[in-house]
Amino acid sequence: MTHMTRRDFSALTAAALLARPAFAQTNEAQPITRAILSTGERVPAVGLGTASVFDSDDERTRHAAAQVVRTLIDAGGRLIDTASTYGDAESVLGSVIEDESLRDKVFVATKLEEPNVAELKRSFTRLKTVKLDLLQLHNVRDARQSLAQFKAWKAQGLCRYIGITSTSHADFLAIEAVLGREKPDFLQIDYSLDDREAEKRILPLAAEVKAGVLTALPFGRGRLFGAVRGKAMPDWAKDFAGSWAQFFLKYLLADERITTVIPGTSNPAHMADNLGAMRGRLPDPDQRNRMRAFIDNL
């Protein structure tokens, strides 16, 4: 599949998008929410990732971030995922949240590379908050890694939930071990329509230990947009998806084990398009099979 950014894809398909039939499910529908399995708290099913999009703390980036975050919230979204290692993303996000007085409207998730007090304090300072909604151990690679310190921070009230993350199949054995032993509130995993290894190996265990699931890289690092470049959406998908982005995201959301998809973007129009995936109906099992076959045959 050819690598293609969302921006490139949008430029090539703008005319086609303008000409497409109206989405059968209107945006007046209630947004899809999912329960966090450890508590029952509900969160919107589409959120925002910040890797490689808010990594420079400058006026242009802050302006784009403010537009994207406002688009997210106005459409009923809440969850924003960042990390201590995403350049200046924590600082940019923290400034936007403070300047717009949005802290009570967003679910803030960040990640630490290790259970380090100095790293945690830096994240609090940059995010301009005294409590995190979700604190995650980033890129778990060692099956022996412990979440004891994260659990202690949760008990101290520094975060409401804890989790682990991975975007590498090579680390799935470690993820399985830590997930099964530590039973975190959340797992963030690389999962997309063209990369379904987590669907078979990781999601069943996440459900067993009652971990909510965030899907990193739901567009397959841009591969999916490259794969469908110049192609019309199948007629059988048009009653549940108004764009290719919604097609890709709704495949994931049709699996009820998925809590929230978190595609990254610095473009408010793309954010609005992504958010359309949590409105209207989701594909049924037969349609999901057709979606897999469609992508596999490209």
* pLDDT at residue 263 is higher than 70: yes
CA distance 279 to 60: 30
The CATH number assigned to the domain holding 192 equals: 3.20.20.100
Cα dihedral across residues 180, 185, 187, 193: positive or negative? positive
- Put the strands of the sheet holding 212-216 in their side by side order: 48-49, 79-81, 107-112, 132-137, 159-166, 186-190, 212-216, 260-261
The answer on pLDDT for 285 being more than 70 is: yes
Q: Quick check: is 68 in a domain?
A: yes
Q: Which domain holds residue 195?
A: 6-296
Residues whose CB falls within 8 Å of the CB of residue 292, separated by 6 or more in sequence, listed in order: 193, 196, 251
Which region among 26-35, 62-71, 166-175 has the lowest average model confidence (pLDDT)? Answer: 26-35
The answer as to whether 185 is a domain residue is yes
**Residue 99, domain member (yes or no):** yes
Q: How many CB atoms lie within 10 A of CB 73?
A: 17
The CA distance from 69 to 90, in Å, is 13
Count other C-beta atoms under 10 Å from residue 29's C-beta.
12
Give backbone dihedrals phi and psi of 65, rounded to 5 degrees, phi first.
-60, -40
pLDDT digits (tens, 9 = 90+) for 92-105: 999 999 999 999 99
The model's confidence at residue 260, banded by pLDDT at 50, 70 and 90, is very high
- The reply to whether 290 falls in a domain is yes
Task: Dump the DSSP string for 190-246.
Answer: E-BTTB-HHHHHTHHHHHHTT-EEEEESTTGGGHHHHHTTTPPPPGGGTTT-SSHHH
146 lies in some domain? yes
Residue 14, helix vs strand vs coil: helix
In this predicted structure, what is the pLDDT of residue 29?
A: 77
Cβ burial of 286 (10 Å; 0-12, 13-18, 19+) is: exposed
**What domain count does the chain have?**
1
Q: In the predicted model, is pLDDT for residue 229 greater than 60?
A: yes
Distances (CA, A) of 177 to 107, 157, 184, 217: 27, 26, 12, 22
27, part of any domain: yes
Give me 203's structure tokens. Answer: 């999601």
Q: Encode pLDDT of 99-138 as tens digits.
A: 999 999 999 999 999 999 999 999 999 999 999 999 999 9
Taking alpha carbons only, the member of 10, 15, 29, 86 closest to residue 239 is: 29
Asked if residue 1 belongs to a domain, the reply is: no
